[in-house]
Chain A
Amino acid sequence: MISESAISNTKSLKKNGSSLQKRETFAAWSFCALPLFFLLLFLVTPFIIAFIISFTDQRLIPNPNLPTQFIALRNFLRLFSSTSFRQALLNTFVFAVVVVPLQTFLALLLAVLVNQKLRFINLFRTIYFSPVVTTMVVVSIIWYFLYNPGEGLINQMISFISFGKLGPYNWLNDTSLALPAIMVLSIWQGVGFQMVIYLAGLQSIPDELYEAGRVDGANVWQQFRYITIPQLRNTTIFVIISTTILAFKLFTQVWVMTKGGPQGAAKTIIVLLYEEGFKMLRVGYASGIGVMFFLIVLAVSLIQRIYLKEERAVI
């Protein structure tokens, strides 16, 4: 019975092969249609519009007396000569250059710590990860209070540790301290995420490698240096790239805590984009900032591709 029906099924399959293929194609496109439509409408369209209107003086609420005009590269020329854009670019780069290596290093350190086979180790993993599920706006508000200029807890701790020699600092109102203060809480909130990625990386390293290392007389540090670090290469590249892109998106904590101040000391690319596009309604100019932002992220991603290719060529 079963084999008979199977045979007849194969026969009908052969007969209807092309119609089955047609059915599959039809089904596939009906699965893809709606998601593709959404992506085209809400991602590709605004992306193309961003490029187009960055060459115009488009405003959010059009002025009937001043029609939108094509102004070629004037938005970009203005961007490069504007001190606030240069400052935003510099601040964002400084933030990324400090936070990315530091956060990556700390994430690896924490991952090694919580990768030990100890009692309650899951509890520590949970605690280290918990800031990740705390909303950034809330994190910023708590730290705003901790950074209180006079009697704030951070000032008190620093004064206590330095026997009253250091402080009190005016953290968020000091042009040289505002950005570093924001860096600290950003790392505090985000490092648990990369820690878990590193933890997964550590656990995927085969034990035999360490056994071989021990046979060859490698001590703990040598094992870490010559087995763990090279084995985590891909994980590290991924962590660095994703942290870099996140760092370039810096907005929420800055906006909540200082609105980009004092005197633009914590102004970032996205803060500027928001101010120009939303507050000043200069949509064309803000789209130019968006385009620049995209090009930076693209460059970072391309560097990632190159590194990953090299890695594949080596192995």
Chain B
Amino acid sequence: MTGVDAAVKNSQRFSFKFHKTISKTLNYLLLIIIALFFLFPVVFMFMSSIKNNETQIIRDMSSISAFIPYGELGLKNYFDVFKQMPFGRFMFNSVFIVGSTVLAGLLLNSMIAYALARLRFKGRGLILSFIIALMIIPTEAVVIPLLLMVNRIGWLDSYQVQIVPFIVDAFSIFLFYQFFVGLPKSLDEAAKIDGASPFKIYWKIIVPLSKPAFATVAILQFLVRWGDFLWPLMVTRGYEYRPLPVAIQQFFSQDPKVWGDIFAFASMITIPSLVIFLLFQKWFIRSVASSGIKG
């Protein structure tokens, strides 16, 4: 009797374990298949970029061999890109434009958010609702008149036309504001009694305590600005001030298309942002997650 009981129990335990293993395996299988779906285009790009032979790239594109590094491999396509155009210039333009927009934005957006969140003054409520209302206006709705304006003041084809209009951003102000409001009031009360000026409180107390907010705004703004396409397409003419997305689009739309070179160019754009992402991935995920908690 007891023996049978034990046997039944044992087999139940075994089948339970067995089921668990199966479901775990299926789980991983599903996760891996989805991962392949998200990875294959980028792997495809990278593998094609290191194949020196253009006919091989075309031949490989219809089969699994597109993902396999074989044949004549090397950096020929990368050198070709540098020979045909000032890639370094494009890279510098993008880094400079995005870097200065994001950095200046961190300062200005956090300063106004600090005033709105922690200082008492007449007009505070009005400014706050004004900024929340501005969050609704998409850049796309104002690009045409903005183009008219910058054309009048002779800003076309310059760095400032790609930087200055986008430094202050209502959504960034809002994110800072939400974070600053959550900090304990006692912090600046104590400093105030000691006679610290509002700027000193902002710089010495609020900024050091708000690193997560700064990281969030920096990353979200980086993602938006780095991929920006419509505005630079309208305001840049020559090579001088052209950022990477516009540069590769122009290169791509020239016929005949040399796919090895195009993929080398695309890889050189993608690898830096992927590396930055991998280095700061925790912050990226956190930033995106916190962008959703609002209202």
B-binding residues in A (CB < 8 A):
6, 9-10, 13, 21, 23-25, 27-29, 31-32, 34-36, 38-39, 42-47, 49-50, 53, 58, 60, 110, 113-114, 116, 118, 124-139, 141-146, 148, 151-153, 155-156, 188, 192-193, 196-197, 199-201, 234-235, 238-239, 242, 245, 249, 251-252, 255-256, 270, 273-274, 277-278, 283, 286-287, 290-291, 293-294, 297-298, 301, 308
Q: Within 8 Å of chain A (Cβ to Cβ): is B69?
A: no
- In the complex the two chains form, is A196's CB within 8 Å of B288's CB? yes
Give the contacting residue for A34; candidates B28, B108, B244; CB below 8 A.
B108
Contact, CB under 8 Å: B108 / A35: yes
- The main secondary structure of chain A at its interface with chain B is helix
Q: A152-B61, A200-B292, A200-B293 are in contact. Are A251 and B229 (CB under 8 A)?
A: yes
The answer to whether B223 touches A141, judged by C-beta atoms less than 8 angstroms apart, is no
7 contacts between A and B (CB under 8 A): A25-B121, A35-B108, A50-B142, A153-B44, A252-B229, A255-B229, A274-B233
C-alpha spacing A196/B292, complex, angstroms: 9
Interface residues, chain B, with chain A CB atoms under 8 Å away: 24, 27-28, 30-31, 34-35, 37-39, 41-42, 44-45, 61-63, 66, 108-109, 111-112, 114-116, 119-124, 127, 131, 134, 136-138, 140-149, 151, 164-168, 170, 173, 193-195, 197-199, 202, 223, 226-227, 229-230, 233-234, 244-246, 248-249, 252, 259, 262-263, 266, 269-270, 273-274, 276-278, 281, 284-285, 288-295
Complex: A137 Cα to B227 Cα, angstroms: 8
Give CA–CA (A44, B123) in the complex, Å: 18
A238 touches B44 (CB 8 A): no
**Residue of B28, B120, B144 touching A277 (CB-CB under 8 A):** B144
Task: Determine the chain B residues whose CB is within 8 A of the CB of A35 once the complex forms.
Answer: 108-109, 111-112, 168, 173
CB contacts (< 8 Å) of A146 on chain B: these are 41, 44
Contact A113 B30 (CB under 8 A): yes
